[in-house]
Amino acid sequence: MNIRERLGKELLFLDGGMGTLLQAEGLAPGELPETWNIEHPEKVEAIHRRYYEAGSDVVLANTFGANVCKFHDDRYTVEEVIRAGIANAKRAGEQIGKETYVALDMGPTGKLLKPMGDLDFDDAYEAFAEAVRYGEKYGADLIHIETMSDTYEVKAAILAAKENSSLPVFVTMIFDERGKLLTGGDVPSVVAMLEGLRVDALGLNCGLGPKQMLPILEDLRRYTSLPVIVKPNAGLPKQKNGETYYDVEPDEFARIMQEVVKGGACVIGGCCGTTPEHIKKLVEECKDLPLCGIEKKHDTIVSSYGQAVILDDMPRIIGERINPTGKKKFKEALKNEDMDYILKEAITQQDKGAHILDVNVGLPDIDEVAMMEKVVKELQSVTSLPLQIDTVDGKAMERAMRIYNGKPMINSVNGKQVSMDEVFPLIRKYGGVVVGLTIDEEGIPKDAEGRVRVAGKIINEAAKYGIDKKDIVIDVLTMTISSEKDGAKVTLEALKRVREEFGVRTVLGVSNISFGLPRRPIVNSYFYAMAMQNGLTAGIINPSSEDMMKAYRSYNALMGFDENCTNYISTYAGTTETVTVQASQTGTATGSASKTADGKMTLKYAIERGLKEEAHHITRELIGTREPLDIIQEELIPALNVVGDGFEKGTVFLPQLLMSADAAKIAFAVIKDVLASSGQEEEKKEKIILATVKGDIHDIGKNIVKVLLENYGFDVIDLGKDVPPEAIVEKAVEENVTLVGLSALMTTTVVSMEETIKLLREKKPDCKVMVGGAVLNQDYADMIGADFYGKDAMQSVHYAQKFFGMAE
């Protein structure tokens, strides 16, 4: 019988530890256990047989590390160890006298995925896909993905399993005692993602003993509608004389595992430190226990790698700012691939209180699929907020859903058949909470009744794909009141009705309501409050708009979602209605030196002291009285020079240099805005490429150099970290850049620096190269053929100025 037919209907027993038993047989620390499938097949088979004899229904083949990222052996291939591993387990199951199953065991790659590590998501997928293909080819009955601590890696493994086989997929992850993954994810975020990817069963293994797993099991059962697996260690790891051991004996293990079964697990076994004796006891004590039923859950959950956002009765905020519509600067940023600009929008919205970020990068003349992938990946490196993928391009949507680390929100599907035919299969495959717009072939219904009807149509169609209504949030659409008198009333009524009639959560883009009216935030914020009152779950708003946030915080305080009004008080206590520029606190501490004759602070002073708020404020004042270029020449540049000189003399230190740089940057931004709005052309800037070379992920030095070069008026093209030589050369040729700065931290990556220089010499001979980084010195720089070695960031500035023939 296929194991899927038994899953959840009877208690199934897995095996116990493998590594510990192999070590007892002589496997050395650091040796690859999978090689034993070929070199000591009889020993591996004997361990499997002991588990079957102890009562295991399923054993995991000895293939935990059999993937190309982890298994590096010059004698055997991944295919050979998987084939032998499955054969050993199958032989062990012969003559057991009951139906047995062999799982292809897939553990982690042992590498950290980008952006925190250097393994690409697609490469991780390919490594797992290879193992899956061999697993199915050599007769595994199911795939067990286990001991995972990173949702991104587990997603790659699950997609690999589902796309390359039709076998059942079990997934277990490692949680700590606080119920968190190593990468920070919590139980609801894991459940949301795994259920979205349609695994067959999910649960816990390793990390903890059975007792510590009980509360996490409870949490799992609170959120999941799937069969739950529990595979604990024989207690918490303990250390003695530098050796790890586990000390929960078989009797005690089995006794606590009874609680685990009563707590709702229906597939159980053991992990590190558990033996055939543990499993034997476990089977004896648990086999007659009744199973708890599996309840269907109705929470609407979106997740990122680090957190879940549960859309419940308390309203949540979807930040609308990552969207080029009507934003000139954002469009520019997209065209120039200026990721920093986009990432800062994300950080600002998070700091202002957004819970989810909408991501829309659609522009007529860009490759939206590539841009969407790039932006989503970059966003995942700076924010743990879940993302809402906002696009009308099905390909961009699919790509984003694939590489997204979590269960995304999807904006959007609508009641048109063609839209539903395109979007629902993606939701079915990757998981996601999808926004359903109440519009269909006949347009937007004029009345609430019509919009409710379209909502129903969307929900019914989704059901055909097995998509539950908890994964649909309805957008009844905001109409502009200046052109439609009853627009707001219809929207509010429809909102209320879809909440009541279908029990689904809702979304609205709020600010459309005031289009064409003066002082739009007034109308927006009132409408926002009314919408929440009528059942709006998540408004898509600008969290930097104080009017909207006032409405949001007040609503929560009024409706009892802000206990003791804590949030409201912490935000508004001690504030007054008028916004005043507050002096930065760190600045006042040093304010003893004289500022000017009349005691008023000068811009030069503010920048020298690194006072950002003041620099901003004073620049705005100066703009009215002095020419922008004068401000730059007479205030900004002299201040930067004073600080730069001090740095080189050793009287000013790196943090101070950078505080000044940040303050200057703000002053420059104010001036730039004024120049732009008055239609004046900015001075043409010299271009410099900066990159941290391939293989190197330490980019702080490069970032310091970037800030300073920008301050001195250079146009820095920042290619980021771990940049292949080809990409640097290609950019230099494409943009005709004649100065490239490279950074590398270690001897192992200076090699790529040398390669990059060689390739530049070949393809762009007029390009000079300056280098810097911890292991470099003048000799080393000469050896790899660099034109200049910068001991510190200021030296790079001087070199660049000299190179472009600028006065210092």
Partner 1 sequence: MTDARTKEAIRYLGYGRHAVDEQTLALIDVSFGELDQTTQAKSVYRIFDCKVTGEDQVTIGKMNIKSRSLGKNLRGCKEAVVFGATLGTGVDMLMKRYSLTDMAKSVVLQACAAAYLEEYCDDLQLSIEEELKAQNKWLRPRFSPGYGDFDIHHQDDILRMLDTAKKIGLTMTDSYMLTPTKSVTALIGISDTQEKCHIKGCEVCEKKDCIYRRN
Question: What's the burial of 239, exposed, middle or buried (CB within 10 Å: 0-12/13-18/19+)?
Answer: exposed
Residue 579 tokens read as 């916004």
Stretch that binds partner 1, among 1-9, 278-286, 324-332, 698-706 (CB under 8 A): 698-706
| 366 interacts with partner 1 by CB under 8 A | no
Residue 715 tokens read as 């146009």
| 67 interacts with partner 1 by CB under 8 A | no
- For 477: left if phi > 0, alpha if psi spans -120 to 50, otherwise beta; the answer is left
Q: Tell me which of 23, 77, 533, 703 binds partner 1, using CB under 8 A.
A: 703
Stretch that binds partner 1, among 554-562, 655-663, 682-690, 761-769 (CB under 8 A): 655-663
Q: What are phi and psi of 653, to 5 degrees?
A: -115, 165
Question: Taking the complex as a whole, how short is the minimal distance between the CB of residue 697 and partner 1, in angstroms?
Answer: 6
Stretch that binds partner 1, among 273-281, 524-532, 699-707, 729-737 (CB under 8 A): 699-707
Q: Give the H/E segment covering residue 587.
A: helix 585-588
| Single-letter amino acid, residue 129 | A
Site for partner 1 in 3-32 (CB under 8 A): 28-31
Per DSSP, which regions of 182-282 are E strands? 201-205, 228-231, 238-240, 243-245, 267-268
Q: Tell me which of 645, 748, 761, 778 binds partner 1, using CB under 8 A.
A: 748
Q: Are 739 and 689 in contact, with CB atoms under 8 Å apart? A: yes
| 749 interacts with partner 1 by CB under 8 A | yes
Bridge partners (DSSP) listed for residue 718: 690
Q: Which is nearer to partner 1, 478 or 711 (CB)?
A: 711
Q: Tell me which of 23, 307, 384, 801 binds partner 1, using CB under 8 A.
A: 384
Q: Which is nearer to partner 1, 538 or 659 (CB)?
A: 659
Site map for partner 1, 210-239, x if CB under 8 A? -----------------------------x
| 386 interacts with partner 1 by CB under 8 A | no
Single out the residue of 412, 407, 416, 374 nearest to residue 393, CA to CA.
412
Q: Tell me which of 41, 117, 394, 646 binds partner 1, using CB under 8 A.
A: 117
Residues 6+ apart with CB under 8 A from 216: 175, 179, 187, 204, 208
| 184 interacts with partner 1 by CB under 8 A | yes
Three-state DSSP class for residue 345: helix
Question: Taking the complex as a whole, how short is the minimal distance between the CB of residue 172 and partner 1, in angstroms?
Answer: 13
Q: Tell me which of 8, 16, 85, 108 binds partner 1, using CB under 8 A.
A: 108
CA distance 617 to 364: 38
CA distance 524 to 510: 7
Residues 6+ apart with CB under 8 A from 31: none
Q: Tell me which of 68, 707, 727, 759 binds partner 1, using CB under 8 A.
A: 707
Q: Tell me which of 745, 771, 776, 800 binds partner 1, using CB under 8 A.
A: 745
Question: What's the burial of 588, exposed, middle or buried (CB within 10 Å: 0-12/13-18/19+)?
Answer: exposed
Stretch that binds partner 1, among 109-117, 317-325, 367-375, 536-544 (CB under 8 A): 109-117
Stretch that binds partner 1, among 45-53, 181-189, 191-199, 800-808 (CB under 8 A): 181-189
| 249 interacts with partner 1 by CB under 8 A | no
| 777 interacts with partner 1 by CB under 8 A | no
Q: Which is nearer to partner 1, 665 or 763 (CB)?
A: 665
Q: Are 476 and 504 in contact, with CB atoms under 8 Å apart? A: no
| 110 interacts with partner 1 by CB under 8 A | yes
What count of other Cβ atoms lies within 10 Å of the Cβ of residue 122?
12
Q: Tell me which of 24, 289, 347, 463 binds partner 1, using CB under 8 A.
A: 347
| 610 interacts with partner 1 by CB under 8 A | yes
Residue 565 tokens read as 């009004």
What count of other Cβ atoms lies within 10 Å of the Cβ of residue 20?
19
Q: Say whether the peptide bond before residue 115 is cis (omega within 30 degrees of 0).
A: yes
**Residues of this chain that bind partner 1 (CB under 8 A):** 28-31, 107-108, 110-112, 115-118, 147, 149-150, 174, 182-184, 206, 239, 241-244, 340, 343-344, 347, 381-384, 585-587, 589-590, 609-610, 650-651, 653-656, 658-659, 661-662, 695-700, 703-704, 707, 745-749, 752
